[in-house]
Amino acid sequence: MKIAHLSDTHLGYRAYGRTTPAGINQREFDVMKTFKNCLDAIVERDPDVVVHSGDLFHVVRPSNATIHRTFKLISEFQAKRKGKPFILIGGNHDTPRMTESGNILPLLGEIPGMHVQVGRATAFEIPECDLEVLAVPSDSLRNDEQIDWVPQLKRKYGILTLHGIAREALEQAGLFNIDATRPERWTYVAMGDFHERKSFGANVCYAGSTDYTSTNIWQETKTPKGWVWFDSETREQEFVKLKPRLVLDLSSIDARDMTADALAASLRENARWDPDELPIVRQKVTNVHHDTRGQLATSLVRELSASCLTYVLRLLPPESIGAAGEFVKSEAFTIERAWEDHMKDAELPAGIERNQINTMGLELLKEVAERASDPAKA
């Protein structure tokens, strides 16, 4: 059996505010284009089964345009595949917290060959492929549903797909044991939620996301995006790379002994990319003196931003070495400044006003400080 596994496509994702000539958020357009390219690549290989392990959409209520485009692309995809099985489960991003709110994903079940599962863990069979499936959506894991991970072995092949148990569980031993899913009993275990491809053996893996859509995309810049091809006969995984918009996290600049002019020259020196690619760029600069920050020309930032989709410049305050050899923040450093620095490049949902959120955060920090100084108010 040949299986194509993709995950965490996050269709409808928006960022940065720049739009296409048609008025669509550029990143929303990018992510949908990457999804289409992924489907096109899968069609060429003609797998027996396609598995999407959750977070098809970025939000519970995607726009009508996103729903329409997604339905159209998957319909065309399934028509080319003559209705071969496509398994889709709900992820934490596209599943409402309240069941009575309804879920948009079952709409896609109207497309021939689609098997959509949301809510509880569900076992079902696809006789034409001699396949049994255990689909474990995000809701099932979120609600600590008791799951029998052992396949019934009524069919020749078995696929387990689940969404959840991502970074935290991978970094903290004991929270989840992959062996509990009984991977040796399944043909393939397709996991979603973790945005970097990670394998746990010959037939178990997170496919990762198809594009850069997490809250901190800079952690993923060294990890390629793509989908997984699995052949049950050879029990080998192949990671098939995609080419989303380029994301660059540039090497950091230490501005401890730099004048504003010297820093500007270093920023230009680091800005080596093809402007035709319009990449997403972050530049961190450490040990920036307050005066240097004030003297840095805003025209320079506009110049560098002109050749990017977005240019995030993080200017971090100086640090010094204490008597015991430890790093100590300068007197100018405050938690309020740290918050403001964070808000300069934090990715916010579409329609959220950055200045408003920044102000709200500062007000909350002030309230916390006042309560700490006067326990009677706590």
Give me the DSSP letters along 237-277: EEEEE---S-EEEPPPEE-TT--HHHHHHHHHHH--S-GGG
In a domain, 63, yes or no: yes
Q: What is the pLDDT of residue 177?
A: 61
Residue 333 token pair: 């450093």
More confident residue, 139 or 263: 263
276: pLDDT strictly greater than 70: yes
Q: What is the pLDDT of residue 321?
A: 46
In a domain, 117, yes or no: yes
* Whether residues 236 and 306 fall in one domain: no
* Whether residues 256 and 147 fall in one domain: no
In a domain, 196, yes or no: yes
The pLDDT tens digits of the residues spanning 64-93 come to: 999 999 999 999 999 999 999 999 999 988
Report helix, strand or coil for 330.
coil
In a domain, 353, yes or no: yes
191: pLDDT strictly greater than 90: yes
109: pLDDT strictly greater than 90: yes
In a domain, 378, yes or no: no
Confidence of residue 342 (pLDDT cuts 50, 70, 90): confident
Q: What is the pLDDT of residue 145?
A: 80
Residue 235 token pair: 């029990």
25: pLDDT strictly greater than 70: yes
pLDDT above 70: percentage of residues in the chain: 84
* Whether residues 278 and 231 fall in one domain: no
* Whether residues 51 and 183 fall in one domain: yes
Last residue of a domain, one of 211, 241, 271: 241
* Whether residues 254 and 233 fall in one domain: no
Confidence of residue 167 (pLDDT cuts 50, 70, 90): very low
Confidence of residue 378 (pLDDT cuts 50, 70, 90): very low
For residue 133, which of 177, 182, 198, 189 has the smallest C-alpha distance?
189
* Whether residues 113 and 35 fall in one domain: yes
- Note whether 53 and 161 are within 8 A (CB): yes
The total of structural domains in the chain comes to 2
* Whether residues 226 and 304 fall in one domain: no
* Whether residues 51 and 130 fall in one domain: yes
Q: What is the pLDDT of residue 174?
A: 44
More confident residue, 50 or 345: 50
Last residue of a domain, one of 203, 221, 241: 241
Sign of the torsion angle spanned by Cα atoms 78, 84, 90, 91: negative
Domain limits at 37? Answer: 2-241
The stretch 285-308 carries a mean pLDDT of: 89
Choose the most confident range, by mean pLDDT, from 54-58, 91-95, 255-259. 54-58
* Whether residues 90 and 210 fall in one domain: yes
The stretch 198-224 carries a mean pLDDT of: 91
CATH of residue 24's domain is 3.60.21.10
The stretch 130-135 carries a mean pLDDT of: 95
Q: What is the pLDDT of residue 339?
A: 75
99: pLDDT strictly greater than 70: no
Q: What is the pLDDT of residue 17?
A: 84
Mean residue pLDDT across the chain:
86
The pLDDT tens digits of the residues spanning 146-158 come to: 888 888 888 899 9
* Whether residues 233 and 136 fall in one domain: yes
The stretch 243-247 carries a mean pLDDT of: 96
Under 8 Å CB-to-CB from 282, ≥6 apart: which residues?
218, 248, 249, 250, 312, 313, 314, 345
* Whether residues 122 and 265 fall in one domain: no
- Give the DSSP letter of residue 108: G
Q: What is the pLDDT of residue 327?
A: 44
In a domain, 331, yes or no: yes
* Whether residues 316 and 171 fall in one domain: no
The stretch 347-366 carries a mean pLDDT of: 72
Last residue of a domain, one of 180, 213, 241: 241
353: pLDDT strictly greater than 90: no
